[in-house]
Chains A and B, each alone.
Chain A
Amino acid sequence: SYELTQPPSVSVSPGQTATITCSGDKLGDKYVSWYQQKSGQSPVLVIYQDNKRPSGIPERFSGSNSGNTGTLTISGTQAMDEADYYCLASDSGAVVFGGGTKLTVL
């Protein structure tokens, strides 16, 4: 079965750039979406189809996908961005989430 691998945790200082990766076999051939989940809340879509931002998502969120790695980049990270982040992709009809990355802003 298809698997997506994310680092368990990423730390960043306020105002700096946070980078969260998602790795999978030939992931660049598939669309990747990214979800932000704050404690006790439902997930929120922040990036879809590799690099598109839904309405209402700040411009500091961006995405890319190439080769075996998809990347979520948060520029000028703010304290409010502290959350769990999940990538998602599909392979042959099977849809899979990555294991999630806890982003700490300190």
Chain B
Amino acid sequence: EVQLLESGGGLVQPGGSLRLSCAASGFTFSNSAMTWVRQAPGKGLEWVSAISAGGDRTYYADSVKGRFTISRDNSKSTLYLQMNSLRAGDTAVYFCTKGTSSASIESLAIWGQGTMVAVSS
């Protein structure tokens, strides 16, 4: 069974940092592009960042560019999102997702259960 399990969320002060992880299983992680999507409380979905299967290409939403870094460790089948200079507006549930094909960052077929990040003093 294909599974994505996010972890690392929590409460952090404005300006702080947090690293999210997503453990993948049930598919060949090293062959799949991966994507992070977030959802603020009571709001819609927001595409955040994506990374190619080999990790050589990364993509970011303008709202997080320069503050967030996506990475992966294919030997551990794990996706990461390093979040720095956090703001109240980053408060959201963060979902790890996998596309329908190896290169897809926009047809998001598999979703984790999400991990909550709260930025507050």
- A binding-site residues for B, Cβ under 8 Å: 1, 31, 33, 35, 37, 42-45, 48-49, 54, 84, 86, 88-90, 93-100
Q: Is the interface of A mostly helix, strand, loop or mixed?
A: strand
Per-residue A-contact encoding for B88-121, CB less than 8 Å = 1, 0 else: 0000000100001000011111011110000000
**Distance between Cα atoms of A44 and B109 in the complex (Å):** 7
Most A CB within 10 A of own CB, among B37, B44, B107: B107
- B binding-site residues for A, Cβ under 8 Å: 35, 37, 44-47, 50, 59, 61-62, 95, 100, 105-109, 111-114
Q: Is A43 in contact with B100, judged by CB distance below 8 angstroms?
A: no
Contact A95:B106 (CB < 8 A) given known A42-B113, A54-B100? yes
**Distance between Cα atoms of A94 and B48 in the complex (Å):** 10
**Distance between Cα atoms of A90 and B33 in the complex (Å):** 15
Partner of B114, one of A42, A49, A95, A98: A42
User: 21 A-B contacts, Cβ less than 8 Å apart?
Assistant: A33-B107, A33-B108, A35-B108, A42-B95, A42-B113, A45-B100, A54-B109, A86-B44, A88-B45, A88-B106, A89-B106, A93-B59, A94-B61, A95-B47, A95-B50, A95-B59, A95-B61, A95-B105, A97-B44, A99-B44, A100-B44
Using CB atoms, name the residue of chain B closest to A43.
B111
**Distance between Cα atoms of A31 and B108 in the complex (Å):** 12
Contact A88:B44 (CB < 8 A) given known A44-B111, A54-B109? no
Given contacts A42-B114, A94-B62, A95-B59, 10 further A-B contacts (CB under 8 A): A42-B95, A42-B111, A44-B111, A45-B100, A45-B109, A48-B100, A95-B35, A95-B105, A95-B106, A97-B44
